[in-house]
Structure 1
């Protein structure tokens, strides 16, 4: 990602998320669940940006980075998160990399959010 001031995106695979950071401060994230027998899908289920950074297009920067990284890894995007679903709708070039949300995807999200 191109730095905008000190704002960058990093992958935190141990936490199953991509983080938006300002310097060393986390200001947002998009969370996913690895899914499938071989982990061939990422269920994106939640995206948030701190209110102090809202309205600057940073959620879009975060999601674009996360989806590009997912596609580069050869994984399928499962857009459960309303923001990710809407972002893909506005960027049709990503639709070929998105899978249909199935009941088992929603059940996996329910288990996480429990």
Structure 2
């Protein structure tokens, strides 16, 4: 599993995982307004779907936000539901 990267030029968080058919990526596109990161879309490559990689990615993203003092606003339905289920990360929400 690769480390979570913030590809600021593309406004995308990205992480690589090992799937059943090789490596694959999970990413979250975001927009920044007033220093707050709005999570617009979370997607996993087809080889990772159903493996739990997206959930592991969201945890890594939330940990990254906490460590770097980022505030997040989930707009993607997947991210909204994930944060509802993981209230231990409420501190990273704006």
TM-score scaled by length of structure 2: 0.80
Instruction: Please say if 1:47 is aligned against 2:42.
Output: yes
Bigger relative contact order (CA 8 A; separation at least 6): 2
Q: For 1:61, what is the secondary structure of its paired residue?
A: helix
Contact 1:19–1:30 (Cα < 8 Å) also in 2: yes
Which of residues 12, 25, 41 in structure 2 aligns to 1:27?
Answer: 25
Provide the residue aligned with 1:64 in structure 2: 59
The CA distance in 2 between the partners of 1:9 and 1:97, in whole Å, is 16
The CA distance in 2 between the partners of 1:96 and 1:27, in whole Å, is 26
Contact 1:42–1:70 (Cα < 8 Å) also in 2: no
Q: For 1:34, what is the secondary structure of its paired residue?
A: strand
Residue by residue over 1:21-52, the C-alpha shift from the partner in whole angstroms, topping out at 9 and shown as x without a partner, is 258x662211111111xx2x110010000112
TM-score scaled by length of structure 1: 0.68
Measured on the aligned residues, the alpha-carbon RMSD in Å equals: 2.0
**What is the total number of aligned residue pairs between the two structures?**
90
Q: For 1:66, what is the secondary structure of its paired residue?
A: helix
Q: Unpaired runs of 5+ in structure 2?
A: none
Instruction: Please say if 1:83 is aligned against 2:81.
Output: no
**Bigger fraction of residues in strand:** 2
Residue by residue over 1:44-100, the C-alpha shift from the partner in whole angstroms, topping out at 9 and shown as x without a partner, is 01000011211000001111112221222212110111111111111111123212x
Larger Rg: 1
Q: Unpaired runs of 5+ in structure 1?
A: 100-114
